[in-house]
Amino acid sequence: TQRPYVIDEMISAKAIAARIEALASEIAAEFSDTNKLVVVGLLRGSFVFIADLVRELHLPVEVDFLEVSSYGDAMESSREVRVLKDLRAAIEGRDVLVVEDIVDTGYTLSHVLRLLETRGPARLRTIALLDKPTRREVEIRADWTGFEIPDEFVVGYGIDYAQRNRNLPYIGKVRFPE
Ligand code: PRP
Ligand code: MN
Ligand code: MG
């Protein structure tokens, strides 16, 4: 059973869209010399962000997904990253952009980077919509970050709490009233 909670808006859909436009032009500049970019979304959390991001990236891209999970239904990371579905593409010699919704402890992104490194990509870059730097346990930083946020449990725009609220169009924070 779930304790009742409310969600307060933290980052509006409009603010997210504006930030993605700016990030997309930086990414397009970085990868302007390639026609073999593979954009890899980490499921499930990144599905909304990657959909909006690739539509602002005016480059030839392939879209692929890797499913990893470490939180399950909990509010706290298990610190064990399970790969549930692998990529379809072979990334050896290719340019890869990993798209993540949020970097919190850092376990998920660092695990994925270590895994993908072993496959010999030409370039491996990362983007995260949100970053909670105060929660980091593994030293890692995405190459591009949308917003740095304080230590709040956030939902929406792909991010869940116990698999719910991924479909909110904005980022909200979870609050438990007394
Ligand atoms: C969440 C989130 C990130 C990760 C960040 O995924 O989407 O992938 O945790 O946390 P970390 O930096 O502490 O590892 P989750 O495991 O909840 O799976 P999901 O994307 O399917 O919700
Ligand atoms: Mn995730
Ligand atoms: Mg989750």
Indicate the burial class of 75 (C-beta count within 10 angstroms; 0-12, 13-18, 19 or more): exposed
Catalogue all structural domains in the chain, each as residue range(s) with its CATH number: 12-153 (3.40.50.2020)
**pLDDT value of residue 59:** 93
pLDDT band (50, 70, 90) for residue 174: very high
CA 46 → CA 36, 127, 162, 175, 178, distances in Å? 21, 10, 16, 23, 32
Tokens of 87: 């990529």
Read off the pLDDT of residues 114-154 as tens digits, 9 standing for 90 and up.
999 999 999 999 999 999 999 999 999 999 999 999 999 99
Q: Is 104 a catalytic residue?
A: yes
Q: What is the ipTM of this complex?
A: 0.98
132 touches ligand 1 (CB under 6 Å): no
Q: Measured from the CB, is residue 158 less than 6 Å from ligand 1?
A: no
Nearest CA to ligand 1 atom 22: 45
- Compute, in angstroms, the gap from residue 137 CA to the centroid of ligand 2: 16
- Would you mind telling me the total number of residues written for the chain in this entry? 178
Q: Is the CB of 70 under 6 A from ligand 1?
A: yes
Question: pLDDT tens across 4-36, in order?
Answer: 999 999 999 999 999 999 999 999 999 999 988
Residue minimizing CA distance to atom 7 of ligand 1: 45
Would strands 171-175 and 6-11 be described as parallel, antiparallel, or unpaired? antiparallel
* 66 neighbors 85 (Cβ within 8 angstroms): yes
Residues pairing with 61 in the sheet: 37
pLDDT value at residue 153: 96
Report the DSSP beta bridge partners of residue 154. 173
| 102 C-beta closer than 6 A to ligand 1 | yes
Q: How far is the CA of 163 from the centre of ligand 1 (A)?
A: 11
Give the mean model confidence (pLDDT) for residues 86-90: 97
Rounded to the nearest integer, the mean pLDDT of the chain is: 96
CB 31 within 8 A of CB 143: no
User: What pLDDT sits at residue 141?
Assistant: 96
Asked whether 128 and 145 are in contact (CB, 8 A), the reply is yes
Catalytically annotated residue among 86, 104, 143, 151: 104
Q: Burial level of 113, CB count in 10 A (0-12/13-18/19+)?
A: middle
> Is the entire prediction scored with pTM above 0.95?
yes
